[in-house]
């Protein structure tokens, strides 16, 4: 399997890059050395008319990696460390707010790295960091250093995005790997690592894959936690923190081949799978070397929301809502809020299906019931439950406390599913359609009220006119206040002027 073909615009850039075997200069001046260090006071502004989607400002000494502005999608701007031969971003800053690359975003360094956009403000920075220089190491690690290399108060290896590379430690205290689409994460616990789905901004994280270090001892409270590191020999090693005592390893396809000279990465891809790749001299694309999940139907969301994955030589997607239609996903729009939101009057449809299961059910909590009806009732009574899958053979009831994603077809009538599907939001009373009779009644009533209002105004005007001609009531008498109880009547809850 191969993926990660270079961007055509960057391919043109790379052709120029290696002419005369020299790294290009940032300012284009002849005879100058490439910039390999940034000092305090540095600033660079992204150019909207730059020829490629990557605009470098800093290079590693070996010329293989560069750091700079990266255009993501059709409009977004990010900061990234890019592997130049493949144009693949190994690390991205991922600002909390989206920056429009058509605007003049500025990268500056004054003790810390900061990305700002005029009129928007600061989008990303290396928080709580004081440093003197910035460098990009030959390992692709972006570091902020103190003078004389006395320390590195910040480094990209300790703040990964979606990728790990050779020599980079991944621990319990490391930020999780987050897929580019923000839907999946890889996290370390004390003795295992696990893949999670990310719902509601990370407030709900159901697990769908777990790997426990074989020689780790969960019952040993004094044993240090496990950490992982990618090895050039073709495996992901698991070690005890504080040393190099190996407790397990995930071997890649090239482990037995003794492949040398390859640059390796491990990436959490947008389909939720954790894969390892390698790049050798002369390569035209990254080669896949390992994947945590093998079958497409074993992935967490191959068919999308309310989809049904049918395994086989060529897996197919169906919809839970209409079992006769074999269509491409999505079957419904992705959910973004839980069933407890939106008020207590929200209504839901229910779908029941036989011969369904979950690829990752072993990672979900379950209860034991004698019947499928009892399993269904346990979910129906909870507004945080989106569905339940029952195994009539074991009595296990797996509760889904997150929006329903792909389920898997299994040819076993004892495996049944119960799923809640949110109805469209109810229209407000003002916007609901009314029957013709009701509409006519409302129109007639409105006309009657309007007529009465006009008649009342006319009578009042005639009375005032007669009084004025007769020299009667003056302005002072007209504004004389009445009793306080009359003023209080204006404080009615129905008074539209009440603030």
Is 106 in a helix, a strand, or coil? strand
DSSP assignment of 252-300 equals: -GGGGGT--S-EEEEEE-TTS-EEEEEE-TT-SSEEEEEES--SGGGSS
Which DSSP category does 191 fall into?
S
Quote the CA–CA distance of 209 and 299 in Å, as a whole number.
9
pLDDT at 447: 54
Query: Where in the chain is CATH 2.90.10.10?
Result: 1-156, 160-294
Dihedral (C-alpha) 322, 324, 325, 329: value to the nearest 10 degrees?
A: 60
Domain spanning 1-156: CATH superfamily: Bulb-type lectin domain (2.90.10.10)
Q: How many residues does the chain have?
A: 499
Dihedral, CA of residue 457, residue 461, residue 467 and residue 468, to nearest 10: 150
Nearest to 353 by CA among 416, 420, 422, 421: 416
Closest CA to 404 of 327, 282, 321, 479: 321
**Burial code of 385-421, b = ≥16 C-beta within 10 A, e = fewer?**
bbbbbbbbeebbbbbbbbbbbbbbbbeeeebbbbbbb
Measured distance CA(309)–CA(406) in Å, rounded: 7
Residues of the chain with CATH 3.50.4.10: 307-422
Q: What is the mean pLDDT of each run of 10 residues along the chain (499 residues)?
A: 49 38 38 85 89 93 96 88 97 84 88 91 91 97 89 95 97 96 95 94 91 89 93 96 92 91 96 97 95 95 93 88 59 79 66 95 93 95 92 96 94 96 55 43 50 58 52 34 32 34
CATH architecture for the domain at 307-422 = 3-Layer(bba) Sandwich (3.50)
Query: CATH top-level class for 160-294?
Result: mainly beta
Q: How far apart are CA 402 and CA 339, in angstroms?
A: 9
Overall pTM > 0.75: yes
The answer to whether the CB of 83 falls within 8 A of the CB of 279 is yes
Parallel, antiparallel or unpaired: strands 274-279 and 263-268: antiparallel
Q: What is the three-class DSSP state of 201?
A: helix
Q: Which of 206, 205, 243, 208 is nearest to 227 (CA)?
A: 243
| Beta pairing, strands 387-391 & 226-231 | unpaired
Nearest in space to 176 (alpha carbons), one of 207, 149, 153: 207
Question: Contact 137/165 with Cβ under 8 angstroms?
Answer: no
Query: What phi and psi values does residue 363 have, to the nearest 5 degrees?
Result: -95, -5
pLDDT at 287: 97
What pLDDT score was predicted for residue 323? 55
């Amino acid at each position: 399997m191969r993926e990660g073909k270079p961007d055509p615009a960057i391919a043109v850039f790379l052709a120029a890059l290696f002419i005369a075997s020299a790294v290009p200069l940032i300012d284009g001046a002849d005879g100058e050395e490439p910039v390999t260090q940034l000092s305090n006071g540095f600033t660079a502004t992204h150019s909207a008319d730059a020829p490629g989607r990557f605009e470098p400002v800093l290079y590693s000494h070996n010329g293989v990696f560069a750091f700079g502005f990266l255009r993501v999608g059709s409009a977004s701007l990010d900061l990234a460390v890019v592997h130049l031969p493949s144009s693949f971003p190994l690390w991205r800053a991922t600002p909390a707010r989206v920056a429009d690359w058509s605007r003049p975003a500025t990268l500056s360094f004054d003790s810390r790295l900061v990305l700002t956009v005029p009129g928007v403000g600061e989008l990303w920075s290396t928080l709580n960091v004081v440093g003197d220089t910035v460098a990009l190491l030959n390992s692709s690690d972006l570091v902020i250093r103190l003078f004389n290399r006395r320390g590195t108060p910040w480094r990209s290896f300790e703040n990964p995005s979606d990728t790990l590379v050779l020599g980079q430690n991944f621990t319990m205290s490391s930020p999780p790997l987050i897929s580019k689409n923000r839907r999946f994460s890889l996290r370390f616990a004390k003795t295992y690592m696990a893949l999670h789905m990310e719902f509601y901004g990370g407030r709900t994280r159901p697990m769908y894959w777990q790997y426990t270090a074989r020689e780790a001892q969960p019952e040993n409270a004094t044993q240090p936690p496990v950490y992982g590191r990618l090895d050039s020999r073709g495996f992901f090693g698991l070690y005890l923190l504080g040393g190099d005592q190996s407790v397990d390893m995930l071997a890649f396809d090239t482990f037995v081949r003794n492949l040398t000279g390859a640059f390796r990465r491990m990436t959490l891809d947008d389909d939720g799978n954790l894969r390892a790749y390698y790049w050798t001299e002369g390569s035209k694309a990254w080669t896949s070397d390992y994947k945590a999940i093998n079958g497409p139907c074993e992935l967490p969301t191959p068919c999308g929301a309310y989809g049904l994955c049918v395994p086989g030589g060529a897996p197919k997607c169906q919809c839970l809502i209409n079992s006769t239609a074999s269509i491409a996903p999505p079957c419904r729009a992705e959910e973004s809020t839980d069933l407890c939101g939106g008020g207590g009057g929200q209504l839901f449809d229910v779908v029941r299906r036989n011969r369904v299961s979950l690829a990752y059910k072993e990672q979900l909590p379950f209860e034991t019931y004698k019947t499928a009806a009892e399993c269904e009732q346990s979910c129906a009574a909870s507004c945080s439950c989106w569905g339940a899958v029952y195994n009539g053979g074991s009595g296990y009831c797996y509760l889904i406390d997150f929006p329903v994603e792909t389920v898997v077809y299994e040819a076993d009538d004892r495996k049944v599913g119960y799923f809640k599907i949110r109805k469209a939001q109810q229209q407000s009373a003002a916007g609901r359609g009314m029957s013709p009779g009701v509409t006519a009644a409302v129109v007639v009533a409105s006309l009657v009220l309007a007529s009465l209002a006009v008649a009342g105004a006319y009578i009042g005007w005639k009375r005032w006119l007669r009084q004025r001609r007769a020299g009667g009531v003056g302005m002072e008498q007209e504004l004389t206040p009445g009793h306080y109880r009359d003023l209080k009547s204006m404080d009615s809850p129905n008074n539209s002027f009440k603030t």
